[in-house]
């Protein structure tokens, strides 16, 4: 690894200020599971690391009257052991469990995963189906945006270079919403997602209400299958409906064709995973 400077700011405001001062030569260090690898490969022009992993503003998981707040620097390991997450957002726990392995989950943070913004980020679909929002700190103060607006392209978010992701917020109405997460990788342990998918929905009087379907690794960014959701809204669930929703989801995605998997196979996975997350979410809803 090339020579670097390493700074530990004591507040989010200090971090943002450091980023503004140093410009593109500075980079935020969260868990480091991606960044340190990139730095070893000599990527970019980074000369200064600003370690925000221990910033109080970015830590902690709390439930408030409005909903659930997960600090951006909370590790996957911490989410998996958190009793609120285990009961209120089990699909986020499930998604966290599929990230890397124990050692990487203990380093890797949910915020780092979102900011790195790879299309296959496992936490993204699970957060998207719960209408999560993110808080971003900049020189002008904090702003909060829907998570869908956060992802712009592969490794590109809507954050400005000097901004810092503070936390992730899930509205109260979606805590405990029947949901499901499914990831398909090239092996069982430590796999990158070929496709990952999540769904959340309510069953009211036997009709699907506020369905959400999100898919990862199927387009330049994680995405919501809005048209498939529209098809499901207000319908009584049946097999043909789910099959049709899955076909629509396939049409909504733009997967790549690479050495890990062909386009055609990724489409098959989108089809299968969409069916499975909808079906499973319905089962969860019915179990209530």
Among 140, 259, 287, 288, binds other proteins (CB under 8 A): 259
Secondary structure (3-state) at 252 = helix
Among 23, 25, 40, 257, binds other proteins (CB under 8 A): 40
| Nearer residue to other proteins within complex by CB, 87 or 262 | 262
Q: Is 206 in the site for other proteins (CB under 8 A)?
A: no
Among 29, 94, 115, 215, binds other proteins (CB under 8 A): 29
Q: Is 116 in the site for other proteins (CB under 8 A)?
A: no
Q: How many CB atoms lie within 10 A of CB 101?
A: 10
Range 173-209 burial, b when 16+ CB lie within 10 A, else e: ebbebbbbbbbbbeeeeebbbbbbbbbbbbbeeeebe
Least gap, CB of 153 to other proteins (angstroms): 22
- Helix (H), strand (E) at residue 150: helix 147-150
Least gap, CB of 270 to other proteins (angstroms): 11
Residue in the structure block whose two tokens are 């997602």: 193
Q: Are strands 151-153 and 48-51 parallel, antiparallel or unpaired?
A: unpaired
Least gap, CB of 167 to other proteins (angstroms): 21
CA gap 279, 268 in Å, rounded: 17
Tell which phi-psi region holds residue 210, choosing left (phi > 0), alpha (psi between -120 and 50) or beta.
left
Segment interacting with other proteins, rule: CB under 8 A, options 58-66, 144-152, 248-256, 269-277:
269-277
Among 155, 156, 173, 264, binds other proteins (CB under 8 A): 264
> Cβ distance 136 to 12 under 8 Å?
no
> Cβ distance 180 to 284 under 8 Å?
yes
Segment interacting with other proteins, rule: CB under 8 A, options 59-67, 159-167, 198-206, 258-266:
258-266
Q: Is 86 in the site for other proteins (CB under 8 A)?
A: no
| Nearer residue to other proteins within complex by CB, 54 or 173 | 54
* Window 92-111: contact mask with other proteins (x via CB under 8 A): --------xxxxx-xx----
Among 32, 125, 178, 255, binds other proteins (CB under 8 A): 32
**Sequence-ordered strand ranges (E) for the chain:** 5-7, 26-29, 48-51, 61-63, 67-71, 133-138, 141-146, 151-153, 156-157, 164-171, 179-185, 193-204, 207-216, 223-224
| Nearer residue to other proteins within complex by CB, 227 or 260 | 260
Residue numbers at the binding site for other proteins (CB under 8 A): 1-10, 14, 29, 31-33, 36-37, 39-40, 49, 51, 53-54, 77, 100-104, 106-107, 184, 186-192, 259-262, 264-265, 268-269, 271-272, 275
């Amino acid at each position: 690894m090339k020579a670097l400077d390493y700074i530990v700011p004591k507040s989010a405001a200090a971090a943002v200020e450091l980023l503004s001062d140093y410009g593109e030569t500075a980079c935020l260090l969260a868990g480091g599971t991606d960044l340190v690898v990139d730095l070893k490969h000599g990527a970019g022009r980074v000369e200064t690391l600003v370690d925000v992993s221990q910033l109080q503003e970015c830590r902690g998981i709390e439930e408030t009257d409005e909903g659930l707040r997960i600090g951006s620097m909370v590790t996957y390991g911490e989410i998996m052991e958190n009793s609120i997450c285990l009961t209120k957002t089990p699909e986020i726990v499930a998604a966290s469990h599929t990230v890397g392995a124990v050692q990487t989950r203990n380093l890797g943070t949910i915020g780092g995963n979102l900011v790195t913004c790879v299309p296959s980020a496992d936490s993204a679909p699970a957060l998207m189906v719960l209408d999560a929002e993110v808080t971003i700190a900049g020189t002008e103060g904090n702003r909060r945006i829907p998570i869908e607006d956060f992802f712009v392209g592969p490794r590109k978010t809507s954050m400005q270079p000097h901004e810092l992701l503070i936390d992730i917020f899930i509205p109260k109405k979606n805590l405990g919403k029947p949901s499901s997460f499914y990831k398909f990788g090239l092996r069982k342990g430590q796999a990158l997602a070929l496709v990952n998918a999540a769904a959340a929905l309510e069953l009211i009087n036997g009709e699907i209400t506020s369905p959400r379907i999100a898919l990862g690794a199927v387009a330049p960014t994680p995405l919501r299958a809005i048209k498939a959701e529209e098809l499901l809204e207000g319908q009584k669930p049946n097999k043909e409906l789910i099959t049709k929703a899955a076909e629509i989801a396939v049409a909504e995605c733009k997967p790549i064709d690479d050495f890990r998997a062909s386009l055609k196979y990724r489409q098959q996975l989108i089809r299968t995973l969409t069916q499975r997350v909808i079906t499973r979410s319905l089962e969860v809803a019915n179990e209530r």
